[in-house]
Amino acid sequence: MDYLAATKNKKYLMYISQNYSYAILRPLQQKILAQGGEVCWFLEGNEVTPNFLKANEQRLVTIDEVIRWSPDVSFIPGNVIPSFIPGIKVGLFHGFNSGKRNRRGFEDHFNIRGCFDLYCTQGPNTTTKFEQLSKQHKHFAVKETGWPTLDPLFSPNSKSSYSQPNDKRKTLLICSTFSRNLSLAPKLYQAIKMFSEQGKWRILVQFHPKMPSELVTKYQALENTNLTFIETDNVLPLLKAADVMLCDTSSILLMFILQRKPVVTFCNQAPGNHLINVTDPNKVEAAIEFALTHPPQLMDNIESFCQQLHPYQDGLSSERVLAASNELLLTPPPLKPKPLNLIRNLKMRKKLKYWRW
């Protein structure tokens, strides 16, 4: 059966709670619409901005509207979705597994919350673990598809709005997570200030949307002809524009490295031979200079790492996700019912102000 063609006349809900989810799901939306399906968006909570919706994108404002619309499939780049929304639920992840651990010492990327019918994994190094978890829990399926977010990254025709062909300097992209313990932003402020004054590199700075506002303000104040601070819901053009990245343990570094470009990390929680990791602020500048030479052994290590992380460079991950979701919808495997999640669903009802049963 052609599961991609089965998209026609079906309904697909984009369920998001953060602004970066727009860019995660839009390549998938484009494929759905091209196949004759219908797409609506639901924005959960106050951390996602409705103004980022485009004029031709349809929004369902209330859960009542979602239930009346009755989606066949919901795509979620976050951690949870309430069970009272109709249709199958597909987990797409909001990033790669960067090795972050929760308070109990477990990797958050593999935390099974009982919300999804299907996980569409990004590459072998996460597929294997999710397949093991599927056999253990028995209430969800797993399909390795690649990540739809990256389809535009591998498009030969896409250009970056942040490129400056007339500036011959190398471009350094600095990204940081918001976690106080992991973030490089407070620890490397003086070093980055010095870089901005030197003018050796063209510097682009982009932080996680949850970064404390006082840090954002400090870095915005550094803006000059050498450094630009950027707030955006789509980081892909930034990734394409840069030659090297300085990061911490944010999963955005994994998106960057898939371009086969080097990454310098500061106090990374899961360092490996695909990264140049430093723990001394005084060694950051030399590490960036070294990275820009593209050392052969480092580049070989990056290639091997990418083959495990996300081997797909064809820009067709959205097609694979859509086909896998339609297959589960039309020919479902014998899965156990998902957990009731009573407490979580009560919390979701309270958050969404929805009490119909």
Residue whose C-alpha is closest to residue 17's, from 183, 210, 180: 210
Give the CATH fold of the 5-153+315-352 domain.
Rossmann fold (3.40.50)
Architecture of domain 158-309: 3-Layer(aba) Sandwich (3.40)
Kindly report, as residue ranges, where domains of CATH 3.40.50.2000 are found in the chain: 158-309
Angle at 155 between CA 154 and CA 161, to 5 degrees: 100
Residue 209 pLDDT greater than 90, yes or no: no
Predicted confidence band of residue 78 (pLDDT cuts 50, 70, 90): very high
Q: What is the model's pLDDT at position 103?
A: 63
Q: How confident is the model at residue 14 (pLDDT cuts 50, 70, 90)?
A: very high
State if pTM tops 0.85: yes
Pick the closest to residue 96 from 286, 273, 247 (CA basis): 247
pLDDT at 126 over 80: yes
Residue whose C-alpha is closest to residue 183's, from 93, 268, 248: 248
Report residue 288's pLDDT band, with 50, 70 and 90 as the boundaries: very high
